[in-house]
Copies of this chain bind each other. A is one copy, B any other.
Amino acid sequence: VNEGSDQKIVPVILSGGSGTRLWPLSRTRRPKQLLPLFGDKSLLEATLERVKDPDLFAEPIIVAGEAQAEAIGEILRGRGELIVEPCARNTAPAIALAAMNAPQDALILVMPSDHLIADVDAFSEAVRRGRGAAQDGYIVAFGMKPDRPETGFGYITRAEPIEEGVWTVEQFVEKPDKATAESFVAGGRHDWNGGIFLMRAGRYLDALKMHAPAIFEAVRRSVDGQSRLEGRSSPDRGAFERCPSQSIDYAVMEKEKRIAVVPARLGWSDVGSFETLHAASAKDDADNVVHGDVIAIDCLGSFIRSEAIAVAAVGVEDLVIVATTDALLVVPRKRSQEVKRIVDALAERERLNLL
């Protein structure tokens, strides 16, 4: 065990998503991470709760889009640091913004703000397990045990064990086809890439400089020109706008050699669609998730949520029904991904108040 094993970890929470996959619940100014989808806390609040143990974590850094900065500021109430992205440039630049604003030897734990982790103890345990490897210079990913051959996720292939519960990584595989996904789930050597990474800030920046120098340089200039006011940093817009838009997976993880993975069972869900939201939610005897002013008679396997008008459903099966004050969605649960088609149609019709 490394001598700095009790070094506190700086949580870096990425809240740049303007996800529309839960439309009409999620909107540009009220993205998924700000919605109280499970109980009365938003996913962002739950993410902050998850890293509040002062023995393990330092104050967090939140990287968020401009449209949500106000709402997030209210949630933080002075806690941590808020870095406002001038525009969306995907995760590799967003993480670099945080890494450049942290001490270079600090351990940063990068996390999405809009995922569900049901088992917080297992999460802390996994983070503790990965800390040594991160201090030794690995970029440590956390692998989520797959329970279905999902083709929409990235997979991490384990190579050799480094220590108890920590493995070197053979490869990152982005969105495999169905047959490959099935062999991954059957093989037992592959985990879902949950988008959570632990590493030294300087180690990430070195890797970025090597594998994606244009991103590194653009973020460098943007941070050099950043302004700061009351716990809120605003990197230079012009420089950041010129930064390539890339995910950490593509820009770094797929190219980097010194990567480790901590496989974990965290009760994880990306809450990426109404289908997964239904799967991750508490259900009644008929497999329905019902929320708000809803009368459901003889319904099965459905997700029915009202934030406004009275919703009455009779005899529907495997259906998603979501009503807000200004919009209603109805879609079969298995076709939840096609909510995107609605959002595209609304954009095309310039129904901006509905986006």
Contact = CB atoms under 8 A, between A and B. Distances in A.
B342 A314 contact: yes
Interface string A303-346: 00010111111111001010111111111100100110110011
Contacts of A316: 319, 330-332
A317 to B, nearest CB: 8
A77 interface: no
B345 A310 contact: no
Contacts of A321: 328, 330
Contacts of A312: 23-24, 327-330, 342, 345-346
A351 interface: yes
Sorting the interface of chain A by its residue count into under 10, 10 to 19, 20 to 34 or 35 or more gives: 35 or more
A353 to B, nearest CB: 9
Nearest to A324: B309
A330 B319 contact: yes
A315 to B, nearest CB: 4
Nearest to A295: B345
A151 B255 CA distance: 70
Specify which of A311, A328, A349, A351 lies most central, judged by the most chain B CB atoms within 10 Å of its CB: A328
Contact of A314 (B24, B313, B325, B341): B341
A297 B341 contact: yes
A354 interface: yes
B327 A339 contact: no
A227 B244 CA distance: 83
A310 B327 contact: yes
Contacts of A324: 309
B306 A328 contact: yes
A108 B190 CA distance: 81
A319 B316 CA distance: 9
Contacts of A308: 309
Nearest to A313: B330
A323 B334 CA distance: 23
A38 to B, nearest CB: 24
A187 B354 CA distance: 55
Nearest to A341: B297
Given A295-B345, A297-B342, A345-B295, A323 B328 contact: yes
A278 to B, nearest CB: 16
B311 A328 contact: yes
A325 B323 CA distance: 12
Interface string A89-108: 00000000000000000000
Contacts of A23: 312
Contacts of A349: 295
A275 to B, nearest CB: 13
Contact of A328 (B297, B310, B345, B346): B310
A335 B310 contact: no
Contacts of A332: 315-316
Contacts of A314: 329-331, 335, 338-339, 341-342
Given A297-B345, A338-B315, A310 B326 contact: yes
Q: Closest 4 interchain pairs by CB?
A: A312-B342, A315-B335, A313-B330, A314-B331
7 contacts: A297-B338, A312-B328, A312-B342, A312-B345, A315-B331, A316-B330, A316-B332
